[in-house]
């Protein structure tokens, strides 16, 4: 642009200077820009989405990138923002590199219909997760399969907590479905035994949103009512696979004086009444993808990072609180048994991924 202006200045009859840059004027940054679009009201969940935010910001600080985080009030607002950015990218003339990270499957239909529009801009890229189906046009997909880690956690549960309620956000999200299936298969694999022989093991499943794509928030009163119902049914262990709603169950359980044991999901939770944490290192996965994007090779069209690659894992928090458990529990979950469960979970994950 400056070159074009100087050419015009040279051609004026009087030789006047039309434009002279001010060396003290702050210039617009040309650093790569990472924009993250979350599902409605997702940011601030103290769980999965906050881990994405933290991962993006750490990487941006390390690499000198600019960032924008968009947490719309509704899915419609998020779709409007995506459409606005698509239109801008079709006509943007500059060479600033831009990466759009879309974190929610509520935008799936839109992305599959519109991702090819980014092909018009060689400096714009798209990263969409968590989905196991690649996009038809331009863009990369990332999936952190939970099946293997959840199988491992489920197989360990009978001696820790034999009567369990799985709480899914909804029936439609692939990551939730795989997590529930993995835990169920592990729990029913009979790789471990119930410590108290008087108790018959039980596994139930419920969803916070039976018909839609929500279920990531729950009212305090609803969570408390559900807790009382589970206690009445002699269920004292819950596995909340429901994003930010996890924290509501955790908080209401504390009000109830710790009536339930809760398996930590997505991030590590250390507390006396938490047997395990099944962790997704989505912050590390985001860092990996951004660095791939900036490299010469770019991001793969699709990548799946689970238990075998270390991006999901089970953390044995019960070991920090031995006074909470029977001695037979530790005898059952000895190092040899834990190794057997982990190796089985790796094989099960591999088989599940090939389906």
Q: Which of 121, 126, 120, 124 is nearest to 140 (CA)?
A: 126
A 10 A CB-CB count for 332 gives: 18
Report the pLDDT value the prediction gives residue 12, as an integer from 0 to 100.
41
Separation CA 165–CA 162 (nearest Å): 10
Q: Which of 3-12, 173-182, 329-338 is predicted least confidently?
A: 3-12
Full-model pTM: 0.87
Q: Across all residues in the chain, what is the average pLDDT?
A: 89
Give the bridge partners for 298, in sequence order.
Answer: none
Least confident window among 14-23, 66-75, 179-188, 332-341: 14-23
Say whether pLDDT at 11 is over 60.
Answer: no
CB contact at 8 A, 284 and 129: no
Q: 132 or 348, which is more confident?
A: 348
Residue 128 above 80 pLDDT?
Answer: yes
Percent of the chain whose predicted confidence (pLDDT) is above 90: 70
pLDDT band at 214 (very low <50, low <70, confident <90, very high): confident
What domains are there in the chain, each with its CATH number?
31-143+281-311 (3.40.50.2300), 147-276+316-354 (3.40.50.2300)
Q: Residues 275, 285: contact at Cβ < 8 Å? A: no
């Amino acid at each position: 642009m400056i070159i074009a202006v100087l050419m015009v200045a040279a051609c004026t009859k009087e030789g006047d200077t039309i434009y002279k840059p001010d060396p003290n004027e702050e210039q617009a940054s040309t650093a790569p820009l990472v924009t993250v679009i979350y599902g409605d009201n997702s940011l601030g969940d103290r769980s999965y989405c906050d881990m994405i935010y933290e991962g993006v910001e750490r990487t941006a600080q390390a690499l000198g990138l600019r960032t924008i985080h968009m947490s719309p009030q509704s899915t419609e607002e998020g779709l409007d923002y995506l459409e606005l950015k698509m239109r801008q990218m079709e006509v943007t003339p500059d060479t600033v590199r831009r990466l759009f990270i879309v974190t929610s499957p509520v935008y799936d239909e839109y992305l599959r219909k519109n991702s090819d529009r980014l092909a018009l801009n060689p400096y714009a890229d798209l990263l969409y997760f968590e989905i196991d189906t690649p996009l038809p046009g331009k863009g990369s997909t990332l999936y952190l399969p939970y099946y293997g880690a959840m199988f491992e956690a489920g197989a360990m549960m009978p001696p820790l907590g034999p009567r369990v309620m799985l709480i899914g956000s909804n029936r439609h999200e692939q990551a939730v479905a795989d997590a529930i299936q993995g835990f169920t298969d592990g729990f029913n694999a009979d790789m471990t035994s119930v410590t108290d022989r008087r108790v018959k093991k039980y596994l139930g499943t419920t969803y916070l949103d039976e018909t839609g794509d929500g279920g990531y928030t729950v009212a305090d009163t609803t969570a408390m009512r559900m807790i009382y119902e589970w206690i009445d049914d002699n269920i004292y262990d819950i596995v909340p696979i429901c994003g930010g709603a996890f924290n509501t169950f955790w908080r209401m359980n504390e009000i109830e004086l710790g009536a339930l044991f809760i398996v930590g999901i997505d991030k590590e939770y250390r507390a006396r009444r938490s047997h395990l944490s099944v962790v997704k290192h989505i912050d590390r996965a985001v860092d990996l993808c951004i660095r791939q994007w900036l490299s010469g090779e770019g991001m793969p069209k699709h990548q799946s990072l689970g238990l075998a690659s270390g991006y999901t894992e089970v953390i044995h928090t019960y070991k920090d609180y031995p006074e909470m458990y029977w001695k037979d529990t530790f005898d059952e979950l000895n190092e040899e048994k834990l190794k057997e469960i982990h190796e089985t979970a790796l094989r099960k994950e591999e088989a599940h991924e090939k389906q």
